[in-house]
Structure formats: structure tokens, C-alpha cells
Structure 1
Amino acid sequence: MVSLTNFNKLSEILQTFITDEEVADLCEKWGYEDTARKLSAHDLIRFFVISSSKKWESFRDAETKLPKEKSLPSVDHSTLAKKAQNVPYQILQELFSRLIKRLGRGARRALLKPYKLFAVDSTTITFQHPDMSWAGYTRTRHAIRLHTKFDVEEGQPTQVVSTTGRDHDVMVAPRLYKDLESLSIITGDRGYARTSDFQYLHERNQFFVIRVAKFFSLSEELEHSVPLDAGGKVKVDQTAFIGKGTRKTKSRFRLVTFTDNEGNEIRVATNLMMMSPEDIAYIYKLRWQIELFFRWVKGNLDLSNLFGNSPNAVYSQVYGTLISYFLLRWIYNETKEEWEILHSYTFIEFTRRYIAHTLPMEVRCAIKSLFGKWGSLCVSTGKI
């Protein structure tokens, strides 16, 4: 049984949900023979999750800190680099997807009953290194891009598609639109505005609120009256066919134009016909939560500081970082109601105390209670 103290360690939490047997099965699936004695594939997974949360700066930096980390073997930086280059990153990618499926089924408070709101967006991580030509972006810089579907209410990513920096949002969007829950709403910025996708989502009874550029062609516009409220930000509420020629939509969609807090005009397309225009504007503004997620991951888990140069090393670190974020956010979401009366921690404050092992006893007891419900089943079966 894991002690109360160990529930405050991310390595022990990770071990609860990802077993050695599961990692071994994934190694076999992806054709990797794990023969190393000093550093196993599972050790490498733990390394990337722990290094991101503790903000280790490089493989060399990690070498000096590993002796103090009891859950990891002490190895030199060259061993770490070689292992990261050889272990298929798809193993960490699949573990991240499995965690989402296992831990994303908890009770949810309805944000916009009965709808479930997802934001889609991408973040680009750029770097300069002569050995990273595989991630071409510009003449002097290389980049990878994380295309993400984000559960706004839970504050959690539910899907991440990793590509090089040249893969634009609109080309990857169809992969994010698959397997949506019923009564889902997708909200996105102009990078996701494509008329064929509007029609695709509409014909599958999926809702969307996506920003469109001013140059988008409209035809057969029908405007609806907007209350003359001096403080109102909604300017236009209309329906129209979007696009022209072969790209013109088959269905008539709604377009709501409003201003943001800085007075900038925003126009969104949607197939939500029964909601008020103010609600449509509000849904789009909630898209900002995914931007905050990207900022948090880059700033607090140091994702912009890449350790290795090869695709395996880079993408393994990326998915290790995402696993770290997912577990921390899940623990925070699942325990907050039990201790928030006594301690009003933000997610950032909670995470800092969790990593530093300075959480109050009430919070640690709530975490122990959580794993009393989940831990034994996970350890015995490896499944939720």
C-alpha cells in the first residue's frame, strides 16, 4: 500500500495508473526490445514526467539531480540521451491517450447544460538547432506544433496531435473532430474556419462556434434584430450561406458579430440556432481557456526547453509533460471540493505545493481518500 506521504509524489501516482506490464506490452506493440539494465523504458517515462514538473533543464542537469530522486536510477546524461532517442515516442503518446480515457469519466458539472464544450487550438514550440532539420519551419528556425482538443469545464486536454510546425490547424482539424461526445460544442479561432468542416459537423449533429475572417463570402443574408442596448456588445445576428462556388455551404448557418473587451470586432459562425447571441459570444470567449493551458504548460512545466534533438526525444518529452499536467490537474479537480473551504489554492499554487511536498494535511488526506477509491483497482488490473 502506498503511504500518505507517497501520495504527495508524482512518481507514485504515475505508478498507480501505469504499470510495468502495460509499458512492456506497449514496447512489444511498437517493436522496441527493452534490454537495458540501468534505465528501462518505464524509467524513461517516469523521468520525463518528473523532469517536467521539477523543471530540470537538460539531460546534464538531470544527471546531477537523479541521485536525490529515489524513484529513478542514477545514470549519466549520455545514457538518458541514448534511451530517449531509441524508445518510440508513440509509447508515451498512447499512455497519455489511455490516461485520458481512464480518468476522464468522473462526474461533471454542466457548464452549459446539456452541452459539453471543447476548444480546439494549437501551440507552436520553436527552436534553433542544426540537428533538427526534420522539424522544418522557417529558414532559421525549426518547430513542432501541438494540435489540441480541450475540455473547457475540466481544464484538461482530451486529444493532442503532434506535428511539425508546417502542419496548419485547418489540415489537422478533422482528426480533432472525430469521436466527439453527443451534444458537444466545438469552439475555435480563424485557423479552424473551413466551410467543408462546418458542413461536416452540422451533418453529424455536432455544434460549433468558430471565428471567421471578414473576407468570408456570405449570400442570402437574413438579419435578426439586436436589442438597442447601449452597453451591449452584440452588433449583428444573421443567417447566411457561407463561402462561394464549390466551397459554399449547403446549409444556412448563423453568424454573430460582437466586440471584445478591447472593442475589436469578432464574427463567429455557428449552427446553434436557439441560443441568444450573447450566449454565442460567451461560448467563443471561453475558448481563451485553451490559451491559458498552453501558457501554463510552457511556463510551469518548461515545455519550451527541449532536452534532445531527435523526433523520439522531443515527442517523448512533450507527451511526458502532458502526462504530468494531466495527472496534476486530475488530482486537483477530483479533490478540490473536499479542501477548498479551508485552503483556496489556485491550480498553480496547488501544483507548486504538491511538487514541493508542502500541502497541508487536509489536502493530503483528500488525495489519500481519492486513491483509496481508485488505487487498488488500478494496481490489480492496470485498468479503470
Structure 2
Amino acid sequence: MNQGKTVFSQLMDFLPWYPFDCAVRRYRGDYRIKSFSCHDQLLCMLFGQLSFRDSLRDIVICLQAQQPKLYHMGIRGPVTRSTFADANETRDWRMYAEFAMALIAEARPLYQDHEFHIHLDQIVYALDSTTIDLALSLFPWATFRTTKAAIKLHTLLDVRGSLPVFLNITEGTVHDVTLLDTLPLEPGAIYVMDRGYIDFDRLYRIHGHKATFVIRAKSNLQFRRQYSHAIDKTTGLRCDQTVRLTGFYVAKDYPEPLRRVKYYDQATKRWFVFLSNNFDLDALTIAQLYKQRWQIELFFKWIKQHLKIKGFYGTSQNAVNTQIWIAMCAYVLVAIIKKRLQLDISLYNMLQILSVNLFEKIPLYQLFSPSGYENNEGDTHNQLFLFNL
């Protein structure tokens, strides 16, 4: 009989617990808590994410059914639905946000050499947001429309590795462009955005921090061409210009010259016009950088399909933020394990395998090996077949 650790315990061994303990002390998460600590809450929520549980009741029933194993999984306190719900409602979500950022800081060096379609030394970020619809009767604080509630998940994604490096959860009415006011800027980095982020005063702030932006221009842009540069039209490029803005207010907001690149995408039969403050990269690279923005759309689609961030375990703002940040912890944790164990399977496959093996006592390297998740049983000739084709 295997006396080793459960799969869930092995997963938790990859978590850096010191940053989490520091965050708990900073926000006094365990103040006057006699049982079911923040450590227990985190483990239970991670179990819910990794096993695709739909509600707190589902999580509690599953964990109580495996009561003898909970202590060895790291869950010390009794797991009850009322205590669990109170913890999500009252304990500061910022603890889990800080812990998620600590996990991301650990994961990013692992993906520095991740395959990237454009050969660049600079870090490339994609910035966008996604809306998560909610029921107005259950989430009245999440203002969006008169008949519907929603929140927005504003995300800055490191395209190399698809890791979120900055996250902000707001009400659905908050405009995307306001995120540029709080966005941490890195000198030398490239920020790729859609035209919803056009605000030349805020873009000039990016320019002032010695960073590069690539953004899709609006059709009503007022500008004056200063120079036209040579291009190869067989690549889809139509023009590469140095321009200055001519609108009364925008010219004050952004007094420096800009680069305007026009591109025709043969695959989609669409025209694109890009603005950038980078005059060193070639025009085709500017167009290719904008194509990399699609990575953040895939990221949003993936987390909505495979993480519990659309159906929530609680209805308060604190409970919603807690669940989303812990979902990010689960995503980054699986990404770290994939690199640490040098696995050649997708994150989706990893989650599916983990979801049905969390209580098993199988070494992780064996669980994810081809023989661990493929059926290698030979033909049993004595077995009768239900259908003979």
C-alpha cells in the first residue's frame, strides 16, 4: 500500500508559504481565529478550483467525505459551510492578491525562454479587460446596467508564457482607459493595446517612462504627415509614416511625433492602422506585435472555461475578489508545476488529470507520465463485447 503523500499535498509543496504568511500577518487574517485559518481557507478554495466544484456545499461535502486525509493535506481546522462562507465574506482579499503576485514573480523566470514568434529582447505585454456578467439581484454592488450587474477583469499579460502580471477587478461601469492611471510601467517594455485605450495624455505618460506602446488608431484621428518611409507592400504593409497630431487638445496631450503604420491582413481581409512611439523596430514588426494581442483574448477564454470565475461561491465583493485571486493562484501554480517537472502536456490536460486524482497517493511525475494517464491495458480475449461491428 502506498504510504506517500496525496496528489493535492504534493501540489501544495510547490507553493511558497513564506510570502503567504507575511500577507496574512500584514492584513491580520488570522486575528482572533480559533479554527479554520487563512491557510485552511486557501487550501479549500484551491481544492474547489482544481476539482471544478460548483459551490461551497460541494467543496465541503467532498472534503468531509475524505476526513481522515484532510490533516495530511494540510487542512487542520474543521471544514463547515458556515465557517467557510464567513471566511470568504470577511477576510481581506488583498492577502490572496499579494500571494498570487508572489506566485507570478516565481513563475515568470521559468518562462523567460518560452517560445515567442517575434525575436525581441524587450518584454511584450498585452493589455485588455473582460466582462463577467452577474445577477443584479445577488450582486447589487457590481453596477453595470439598469437590469444587469457585472465586473471587469483588467489584465496585463506577459505574452511570453501567457502569465498575468497585473490584475485589477472593478465594477462593470469602469472604462478600460482608466487602468492606464494605475498601470505599473517598465522602461523598455512594449505595451500592446486595442483602440479602447486611446487617450493621448495617458499614452504620453507611457512615453515619458521610456516604454513603448503599440495601439490601434481610431478612424477619426487628426494628424499631419511629416515623413513617409520605404515599405515592402508584398508583406501587407501599406504605409509607414512619421506624423504629428493636429487636434487642438490632443496636440497638447501628445506633443511628440508618432509613428503611423497601415497594414492589410490578407487572411481576414481587414485594414489596420497602428500608432506607436517606437521608431527603431521595422514596420512589419509593429504589425506583428499587435497580432500578439490575441494571446490575452485566448487567456480570458481559457480561464473562463477552465477556472471557477463565472459562478461564485459568495455574493459580496470581498468573496468575489477572493475567489478570482485564488483562481489566479491555481492557474499560476499549475503553470509552475508544468515547468518544474518539464511536462510536455497542456495546462488543460493537467487540470483534467488532477481533478480526478487529488486524493490519490501517486507521485506527480508518474501521474503525468504517458503511462500514468493513458490506458495501456492489453486486449482481454475472454471479455465479451457488447457491440460486435
Shorter chain as denominator, the TM-score bin is: 0.7 to 0.9
| Secondary structure, counterpart of 2:129 in structure 1 | strand
Residues 86 and 18 (structure 1), Cα distance of their counterparts in 2 relative to 1, 3 Å cut: farther
Residues 83 and 262 (structure 1), Cα distance of their counterparts in 2 relative to 1, 3 Å cut: same
Residues 22 and 97 (structure 1), Cα distance of their counterparts in 2 relative to 1, 3 Å cut: closer
- The reply to whether residue 245 of structure 1 matches residue 248 of structure 2 is yes
Q: How does 1:314-325 map to 2 (within 5 A)?
A: 314-325=320-331
Q: How does 1:58-69 map to 2 (within 5 A)?
A: 58-67=55-64, 68=66
1:297 matched residue in structure 2: 303
Structure 1 unaligned regions, length at least 5: 366-384
Residues 107 and 150 (structure 1), Cα distance of their counterparts in 2 relative to 1, 3 Å cut: closer
Which is further off, 53-62 or 313-322? 53-62
Say whether the 8 Å CA contact 1:185–1:208 is kept in structure 2.
yes
The structure with more helix, counted as a fraction of residues: 1
Question: Which residue, out of 199, 207, 214, partners 2:204?
Answer: 199
1:348 matched residue in structure 2: 348
Aligned letter for 1:164?
E
Q: CA deviation at 1:15?
A: 5.0
2:103 matched residue in structure 1: 99
Which is further off, 210-219 or 110-119? 110-119
Q: CA deviation at 1:351?
A: 2.9
Aligned letter for 2:237?
V
2:134 matched residue in structure 1: 127
Say whether the 8 Å CA contact 2:159–2:295 is kept in structure 1.
yes
1:373 matched residue in structure 2: none
Q: For the residues of structure 1 that align with 2:26 and 2:304, how far apart are their CA atoms?
A: 31
Q: For the residues of structure 1 that align with 2:233 and 2:290, how far apart are their CA atoms?
A: 22
Aligned letter for 1:133?
P
Residues 301 and 51 (structure 1), Cα distance of their counterparts in 2 relative to 1, 3 Å cut: same
Say whether the 8 Å CA contact 1:53–1:300 is kept in structure 2.
no
- The reply to whether residue 175 of structure 1 matches residue 179 of structure 2 is no
Say whether the 8 Å CA contact 2:243–2:257 is kept in structure 1.
yes
Which is further off, 52-61 or 351-360? 351-360
Query: How many percent of aligned residue pairs carry the same amino acid?
Result: 23
Which is further off, 46-55 or 74-83? 74-83
Q: CA deviation at 1:270?
A: 1.0
Q: CA deviation at 1:256?
A: 1.2
Q: How does 1:10-21 map to 2 (within 5 A)?
A: 12-19=10-17
Q: For the residues of structure 1 that align with 2:62 and 2:246, how far apart are their CA atoms?
A: 57
Say whether the 8 Å CA contact 1:52–1:303 is kept in structure 2.
no
What is the RMSD of the two structures over their aligned residues, measured on CA atoms? Answer: 2.6
Question: Which residue, out of 205, 218, 224, partners 1:219?
Answer: 224
Say whether the 8 Å CA contact 2:132–2:150 is kept in structure 1.
yes
Q: For the residues of structure 2 that align with 1:114 and 1:27, how far apart are their CA atoms?
A: 37
| Secondary structure, counterpart of 2:101 in structure 1 | helix
| Secondary structure, counterpart of 1:105 in structure 2 | helix
- The reply to whether residue 44 of structure 1 matches residue 51 of structure 2 is no
Give me the TM-score of the superposition, normalised by structure 2.
0.82
1:27 matched residue in structure 2: 24
Larger Rg: 2
Question: Which residue, out of 252, 257, 263, partners 2:262?
Answer: 257
Say whether the 8 Å CA contact 1:34–1:40 is kept in structure 2.
no
Q: CA deviation at 1:41?
A: 1.4
Q: For the residues of structure 1 that align with 2:79 and 2:356, how far apart are their CA atoms?
A: 23
Deviation string for 1:181-207 (max 9, x for gaps)? x43111111122221233222222211
Residues 5 and 276 (structure 1), Cα distance of their counterparts in 2 relative to 1, 3 Å cut: farther
Q: For the residues of structure 1 that align with 2:264 and 2:225, how far apart are their CA atoms?
A: 24
| Secondary structure, counterpart of 1:236 in structure 2 | strand
Deviation string for 1:116-139 (max 9, x for gaps)? 111111111111142422111111
1:268 matched residue in structure 2: 274
Q: For the residues of structure 2 that align with 1:4 and 1:217, how far apart are their CA atoms?
A: 67
Q: For the residues of structure 2 that align with 1:257 and 1:286, how far apart are their CA atoms?
A: 17
| Secondary structure, counterpart of 1:133 in structure 2 | coil
Residues 87 and 12 (structure 1), Cα distance of their counterparts in 2 relative to 1, 3 Å cut: farther
Q: For the residues of structure 1 that align with 2:42 and 2:259, how far apart are their CA atoms?
A: 46
Q: For the residues of structure 2 that align with 1:286 and 1:144, how far apart are their CA atoms?
A: 25
Q: For the residues of structure 2 that align with 1:27 and 1:98, how far apart are their CA atoms?
A: 13
Say whether the 8 Å CA contact 1:66–1:74 is kept in structure 2.
no
| Secondary structure, counterpart of 1:159 in structure 2 | strand
